[in-house]
Structure 1
Amino acid sequence: MILVVGGAGYIGSHLVKELIKTKEVVVLDNLSTGFRSLVDNKALFVEGDIGNVEVLNRIFTEYKIEAVMHFAANSLVGESVKNPYKYYQNNVSSTLNLLNTMIRYNVTNFIFSSTAATYGIPDVDIIDESTSTNPINPYGKSKLMVEEILEDFSNAYSLNYVILRYFNAAGAHNSGDIGENHNPETHLIPIILRHLLGETESISVFGTDYNTEDGSCIRDYIHVTDLSSAHILALNALLDKKVERSTYNLGNGLGYSVKEVIKTCENVTKRKANVIETERRLGDPARLVASSTKIFDELGWKARYDLESIITSAWKWHSQNKL
């Protein structure tokens, strides 16, 4: 059985929906940002927190856990700057509780959901796993701390792990059953789509004078189903002992500008956005694009969905689940 912590959240719920096709799954989520309704009913569900040792002990006692997949992090950059304690408490301290419980119950396979925020503001256009990690906010720092903890645990306790650093998760499951529902919403594609549904008066483009093709920032967007497939490949590689410890970027390798994303949203929805161009935001690099060559070479994974496919799936979800 596979334990998925944070499996009621956006990315975790999409992973669970794919994972239950081949594995027995138990989901642990405190529902602070996740939704019980997103968890497929074929998975077992436990409401609780990874910071609660009693809950963890109960799960590891009742179920024969083969591996743990960790999505239960706080992930808002701005909030992490204002409330770093929350991020170090949940993302680092509570993860230590989880890892310590795994070691005590002799569970040694771990998939960690990490982030491009560990790189900070790199000085390269295409980021690969050898790019220096220099996070600039507590969120990115907390993720990098866990990555370093995993290396130490691997050396000391023979923990096997895969770290997946992904860039901008987007889109919704093609079934239309589950999708992206954050409050507050900070991701570009749902912000645009909610605007096109009439929920906001306008959308903003922060900076139009970057050294890019159209002057707006370029980011790497990846369909959440592509993320799920990468996690499953990584899990199977661990269970089959093909990988002991590795770190992989997950991205499309291309990158799309803010203006390009807005235009594609307009084309998919057949609606016109009210766009306000404004000043740059502090700390926004012009281009953040991932190289996923390593995971392709080692596990055979690459992104399948392009920007239009991502937005089409997201529009199906948002138009059916208007807030």
Structure 2
Amino acid sequence: MILVVGGAGYVGSHVVNLLLEKGPVVVYDNLSTGHRGSVDERAIFIEGDLSDQKRLTQIFTLFPVQSVIHFAASDSVREAMGNPEYYYENNVGGTLALLKVMRACRVKNIVLSLAVTEENKLLEQKCMIEQMLEVYTKAYDMNGIVLRYCKSKNVQATDSESPEDAISDGTCNKGFNNVTNVANAHVLVLEALERGELAYKMYDLSNVSSENLQQELEWQAERNVHEMIEDAWNWHENSKC
């Protein structure tokens, strides 16, 4: 069973849909930016905060979780500058809480999903959680993948955006960053972790280093611009629920 933290968001919900074709999924989300209506009915949904260690422990106790995908790191640069305390608590504190519970419950595999800005720069807090994950994998015999992708409108969407707005101006390799392509990459690296092929690795879908993922795990971008519009439209309509 897979736990998807932040699985009610745009990218997270697409990953959940793919994972459900392979087995059961638990979605854990506080719905601060995600939408309950975007979570597939086949998934088990639990509402809660990333920093709530007691709640997380209950999930790992109740369900046979073997791996985690973490989408719950906040990524708004404007809000991070306006309220840095919240961002450190959520991104750094929340990720640390998750890793502590995983370690206590002997869950070894995690994919850390990080959206970057159009300028391909990570928020400071996200750099810290990348480093924290790398240290944890080495110190506590855990396996972790960091998967970076460009935070452009062809990956992220909100209630206020129309389907046409979900297509960006061409920055950040829009063919690679269609949400379905990004979701497929998450599933691919998770499967590699579960097969024991990787211990710690960072893959970047936002620039030419995505070639590493293509060569090592045979990942390919498959969706075109018309399918991008369809993806954005479907999610936009479903998230109104």
TM-score of the superposed pair, with normalisation by structure 2: 0.88
Corresponding position of 1:180: 157
Query: What is the number of residues matched between the two proteins?
Result: 238
Note if 1:156 corresponds to 2:139: yes
| Alignment-mate amino acid for residue 249 of structure 1 | D
Corresponding position of 1:301: 219
Q: Is the Cα–Cα contact under 8 Å of residues 170 and 223 in structure 1 kept in the other structure? A: no
User: What is the deviation of 1:240?
Assistant: 0.4
Report Cα offsets for 1:13-65 as digits up to 9, x if no partner.
11101110002111111111111111111111111111111101110111111
Corresponding position of 1:88: 88
1:29-108 counterparts in 2 under 5 A?
A: 29-108=29-108
Corresponding position of 1:223: 178
User: What is the deviation of 1:305?
Assistant: 1.8
CA RMSD after TM alignment: 2.8
When Rg is computed on C-alpha atoms for both structures, the one with the higher figure is: 1
Note if 1:240 corresponds to 2:200: no
Q: In 2 relative to 1, CA 52–91 (structure 1 residues): closer, same or farther, beyond 3 Å?
A: same
| Alignment-mate amino acid for residue 158 of structure 2 | N
Tell me the distance in 2 between the aligned counterparts of 1:318 and 1:38. Answer: 9
Report Cα offsets for 1:112-156 as digits up to 9, x if no partner.
001334xx957xxxxxxxxxxxx5xxx611111011001111111
Report Cα offsets for 1:281-300 as digits up to 9, x if no partner.
xxxxxxxx444100001111
For the residue of structure 2 that corresponds to 1:218, the secondary structure is: coil
Which structure 2 residue ranges, 5 or more long, are not aligned? none
Report Cα offsets for 1:172-211 as digits up to 9, x if no partner.
9xxxxxx9334xx5xxxx468369xxxxxxxxx9xxxxxx
Q: Is the Cα–Cα contact under 8 Å of residues 9 and 33 in structure 2 kept in the other structure? A: yes
| Alignment-mate amino acid for residue 200 of structure 2 | R
Question: Identity of aligned pairs, percent?
Answer: 38
Corresponding position of 1:266: none
Tell me the distance in 2 between the aligned counterparts of 1:241 and 1:167. Answer: 27
Q: In 2 relative to 1, CA 4–318 (structure 1 residues): closer, same or farther, beyond 3 Å?
A: closer
User: What is the deviation of 1:250?
Assistant: 1.5
Q: Is the Cα–Cα contact under 8 Å of residues 169 and 224 in structure 1 kept in the other structure? A: no
User: What is the deviation of 1:307?
Assistant: 3.0
For the residue of structure 2 that corresponds to 1:219, the secondary structure is: coil
Corresponding position of 2:128: 145
Q: Is the Cα–Cα contact under 8 Å of residues 73 and 114 in structure 2 kept in the other structure? A: no
Tell me the distance in 1 between the aligned counterparts of 2:219 and 2:93. Answer: 32
For the residue of structure 2 that corresponds to 1:32, the secondary structure is: coil
User: What is the deviation of 1:229?
Assistant: 0.7
Note if 1:167 corresponds to 2:144: no
Q: In 2 relative to 1, CA 10–60 (structure 1 residues): closer, same or farther, beyond 3 Å?
A: same
Q: Is the Cα–Cα contact under 8 Å of residues 68 and 109 in structure 1 kept in the other structure? A: yes
Structure number with the higher helix fraction is 2
Q: Is the Cα–Cα contact under 8 Å of residues 20 and 42 in structure 1 kept in the other structure? A: yes
For the residue of structure 1 that corresponds to 2:123, the secondary structure is: helix
TM-score of the superposed pair, with normalisation by structure 1: 0.67
User: What is the deviation of 1:311?
Assistant: 2.8
| Alignment-mate amino acid for residue 164 of structure 2 | L
Q: In 2 relative to 1, CA 191–79 (structure 1 residues): closer, same or farther, beyond 3 Å?
A: farther
| Alignment-mate amino acid for residue 70 of structure 1 | H
Q: In 2 relative to 1, CA 320–146 (structure 1 residues): closer, same or farther, beyond 3 Å?
A: closer
Q: In 2 relative to 1, CA 234–168 (structure 1 residues): closer, same or farther, beyond 3 Å?
A: same
Q: In 2 relative to 1, CA 65–30 (structure 1 residues): closer, same or farther, beyond 3 Å?
A: same
User: What is the deviation of 1:92?
Assistant: 0.7
